[in-house]
Amino acid sequence: MAKVVTSEAVRFMGDCLKAVGASAKAAEQQADLLIQADKMGHPSHGLNRLEMYVNDIIKGACQPNNKPVILKENASTAWVDANNVLGATASHFAMDIAINKAMITGVGWVTVKGSNHNGMAGYWAQKAADKGLIGMAFTNTSPLLAPTRSKQSALGTNPLSVVAPASQGESFYLDMATTAVAVGKIEMQLRKGEPIPSGWAQGPDGKETTDAQLAFDTSCLMPLGGGEKTSGYKGFGLAAMVELFCGISSGAKYGHHVRSWSHSGAGGPADLGHCFVAVDPGSFAPGFGDRLADCIQHWRQLEPTDPSLPVLAPGDKEKKNAQETADRGTVSYVKQQIDSSAALAKRLNVKPMEIVSG
């Protein structure tokens, strides 16, 4: 692993996006989204995603300097056309609307069409939680999930996230794909040259595979829960629910109509759908934060099945990783990621990342 000063990684990502035409604000927002994933221990959604965004802009599949617009709204809801901007630009715009509506009416629900990959879902739910609200974020993606009993993919990894503030400095943080893993986890195994665990993906024969390259090429991830006998149909159902909230509700591309997963900008505009929700817990019973903190602390105090592995509350691992990153002041990348970033820097004629060790 190679270490890079966190601010240097942000500089590099921003420079690459600006080099292909993104405005300074759009580039900075997208870079901040990416670095948060690296800091929280989810490298699949960090620097790993940069080249995909760059290629989308180069190929014209993304227009980073367009402006999102509200197509329809009432006191608590809004429908937004992202106008093919970067996912971070569209998502800041939409979640800000949801937050503002929740502050007035108690709830804000916003759907978005015409958008692009918007990174780590928890980043957007956290934006609402930072304002004292319960935040929820959903997005569809390219078809990668093979529904239970299917050899073919028909839905995306369709992540969902819920983040809520609690008292005593606690917070609830859930961010999960509705597939067994996000496709980026398979990409990271490829970068490391390692197989994938059983239960992550299918080969072309519909059977589980541990071959990372075959899994990536087949693009048939297993739903959360795995096969039918281990309740994978529940993950399939959750992915379908997210699609209902996102592509179907917003009028974006949905399910099997979304372009195939690509790093090269192929397939034209993604036209992804997002859904952002903000809810004021003060609209309900008093003491929300205290009860949530009580639950979180109780879960951690449960007797573990393995004494060396304490019970974690949702988000504990991410918070620990973020704190350790902040203490070090560096983020770590595998050698293949460093090499591909250096190649990208050369291609775009930007200053490569400076490595401090590794």
Residues 39 and 141 in one domain: no
Domain's final residue, options 279, 294, 314: 314
Query: Is 70 exceeded by the pLDDT of residue 358?
Result: no
Q: Is residue 216 part of a domain?
A: no
Burial of 227 (0-12, 13-18, 19+ CB in 10 A): middle
Q: What is the DSSP letter of 357?
A: B
Q: Provide the CA 89 distance to its chain's centre, in angstroms.
A: 14
Is 199 domain-assigned?
no
pLDDT at 217 over 90: yes
Answer yes or no: do 6 and 134 share one domain.
no
CA 37 to chain centre: 8
Q: CA 259, CA 270: separation in Å to the nearest integer? A: 6
Instruction: Copy the structure tokens of residue 260.
Output: 């195939």
| pLDDT, mean over the chain | 97
Largest CA distance in the chain: 57
Asked whether residue 196 is assigned to any structural domain, the reply reads no
Residue 347 Ramachandran class (φ > 0 left, ψ -120 to 50 alpha, else beta): alpha
In this structure, the answer to whether residues 286 and 349 fall within a common structural domain is no
Among the listed residues 296, 222, 249, 193, the one whose alpha carbon sits nearest the alpha carbon of residue 77: 249
Q: Is residue 129 part of a domain?
A: yes
Residues 142 and 23 in one domain: no
Q: What is the domain-level CATH number for residue 47? A: 1.10.1530.10
Q: Would you place residue 79 in the very low, low, confident or very high pLDDT band (cuts 50, 70, 90)?
A: very high
User: What single DSSP character describes residue 319?
Assistant: H
Domain that holds residue 42: 1-58+319-358
Q: Return the CATH number at 143.
A: 3.30.1370.60
Confirm whether 286 is domain-assigned: yes
Question: Could you report the per-residue pLDDT of 6-58, keeping only the tens digit for each?
Answer: 999 999 999 999 999 999 999 999 999 999 999 999 999 999 999 999 999 99
How high is the pLDDT of residue 78? 99
Domain membership flag for residue 253: yes
Do 155 and 271 have their domain in common? yes
13 with 116, same domain: the answer is: no
The DSSP code for 269 is -
Same domain for 72 and 53:
no
29 and 87 part of one domain: no
Q: How far apart are the C-alpha atoms of 83 and 271, rounded to whole Å?
A: 9
Q: What is the spatial distance between Cα 205 and Cα 218, in angstroms, rounded to a whole number?
A: 10
Q: Do 53 and 91 belong together in one domain?
A: no
**Segment 271-282, tens digit of pLDDT:** 999 999 999 999
Which pLDDT belongs to residue 251? 98
Q: For residue 343, is it within any domain? A: yes
DSSP string over 332-354: EE-HHHHHHHHHHHHHHT-PPPP
Please indicate, yes or no, whether residues 48 and 153 belong to a single structural domain of this protein. Answer: no
Same domain, 20 and 149: no
Per the structure, the count of domains in the chain is: 2
Which one, of 39, 57, 56, lies nearest residue 47 by Cα?
39
Same domain, residue pair 242 and 334: no
Asked whether 163 and 135 are in contact (CB, 8 A), the reply is: yes
